[in-house]
Structure 1
Amino acid sequence: MDWPDYLRDEAAMYRQLAEQADDPVVKNELLELASVCEEVANNIEDHLTGG
């Protein structure tokens, strides 16, 4: 499994759900989850490339 790609797909899903959310708290939480997924994906790639 390619973890960075998987996590970026999850981030995209969370962003889509955030767009559909009516509750601002839920929207914010989903956007935070997307941000965490992106950050972890970047950290994994940095580690794998030695950066």
Structure 2
Amino acid sequence: MRLRYDEHKDDLTQPLCIASAYNISCTPGFEPDYAGLQALEPDNIG
């Protein structure tokens, strides 16, 4: 399932880390690299 960054940006900051959908290894308190997410999903940036 492909997630749209603009729809899930709030969830991306949570410890459960929706960014795992982008194959990013997440740990509690992990804050994803938004620039990296943009590079992975350039067409989905709001």
Q: Provide the TM-score with structure 1 as the length reference.
A: 0.30
| Superposition TM-score, scaled by structure 2 size | 0.32
Q: Which has the larger radius of gyration?
A: 1
Task: Name the structure where helix makes up a greater proportion of residues.
Answer: 1
Bigger RCO of structures 1 and 2 (CA < 8 A, at least 6 apart): 1
